[in-house]
Amino acid sequence: MQVSQLYRRGVIRPLNDAAASQLENWRIDNSIRTEWLPVLGDDHFVLIWESGILQRINEACGARISDYEEVELPVSQLNAALNALNAMPLPETTDVAVFVNNLKTMLVQAIESKRPLYFVF
């Protein structure tokens, strides 16, 4: 099964090496352990996009996170992404602020576990 079939929109953090290995190939063949930060529909994605947080991550990391993309943010780029988010004021929209805070937490945990994050939009 393709990753985008299982996780339609959101950010995925593998919790073990087996999950990281399958996500790296963008294909899930067995049960995996992950943490998922969902984007709850098109309207939620638009709010997140318009806040500029994904563009900041793209600029800081040389990534191409956008709508209808699957992007791996490698371990080497996680600190840059976290620093980019920390340098921004928290968005005024409550749903986006919650998403940003949860994403920051995921980034810290990914840095600590030395595993990438996967963006599926």
- What's the pLDDT tens digit per position in 3-25? 777 777 899 999 999 999 999 99
28 class by beta-carbon count within 10 Å (0-12 exposed, 13-18 middle, 19+ buried): middle
Contact yes or no for 73/63 (Cβ under 8 A): yes
Into which CATH architecture does domain 3-120 fall? 3-Layer(aba) Sandwich (3.40)
45-81 pLDDT, tens digit each: 999 999 999 999 999 999 999 988 899 999 999 999 9
Question: How many angstroms separate the CA atoms of 99 and 41, rounded?
Answer: 13
- Is the entire prediction scored with pTM above 0.75? yes
User: Which tokens is 118 given?
Assistant: 């996967």
Contact yes or no for 117/78 (Cβ under 8 A): yes
Question: How many angstroms separate the CA atoms of 3 and 12, rounded?
Answer: 10
